[in-house]
């Protein structure tokens, strides 16, 4: 299995070969991400694990390309997001609501 870094580079090279990079825009990739999220929701509702796997992968592809077009490292963005949430405390209720622990 490839590492994340290897796969990210393959996706970027694929997008370059198809002129998505540099001719695409972060906004166009954001729109594509939203389309793929819709496909994920449909797959979850259908209980279709193969379609879910495909949609999660497609979402990652659009995020990798969009972040590259914006000159943002997706891995650095993920690390920054983790640093922001790592000390949050709370729990998710059965209704799906995250309740933050009082500080």
Element spanning 32, H or E:
helix 26-46
Per-position pLDDT tens, the chain of length 103: 889 999 999 999 999 999 999 999 999 999 999 999 999 999 999 999 999 999 999 999 999 999 999 999 999 999 999 999 898 899 999 998 999 887 6
> How many residues belong to the chain?
103
pLDDT of 79 = 95
Q: Determine the 3-state secondary structure of 91 from DSSP.
A: strand
Q: Nearest Cα to 33, choosing from 56, 6, 50?
A: 56
pTM recorded for the entire structure = 0.88
- What gap in Å lies between CA 93 and CA 61, rounded to an integer? 31
Q: Which is nearest to 51 in space by CA: 62, 40, 66?
A: 40
Cα–Cα distance for residue pair 61/21, rounded to 1 Å: 13
| Joined tokens for residue 30 | 């954001």
The pLDDT of residue 1 is: 80
The contacts of residue 93 (CB under 8 Å, 6+ apart) are 99
Q: What pLDDT is recorded for position 103?
A: 67
Predicted local distance difference test score (pLDDT) of residue 52: 98
């Amino acid at each position: 299995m490839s590492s994340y870094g290897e796969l990210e580079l393959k996706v970027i090279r694929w997008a370059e070969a198809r002129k998505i990079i540099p001719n695409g825009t972060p906004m166009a990739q954001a729109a594509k991400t939203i389309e793929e999220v819709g496909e994920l929701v449909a797959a979850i509702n259908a209980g279709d694990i193969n379609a879910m796997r495909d949609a999660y992968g497609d979402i990652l592809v659009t995020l990798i390309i969009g972040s590259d077009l914006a000159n943002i490292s997706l891995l650095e963005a993920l690390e920054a997001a983790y640093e922001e949430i790592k000390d949050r405390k709370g729990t998710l209720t059965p209704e799906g609501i995250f309740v933050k622990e009082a500080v």
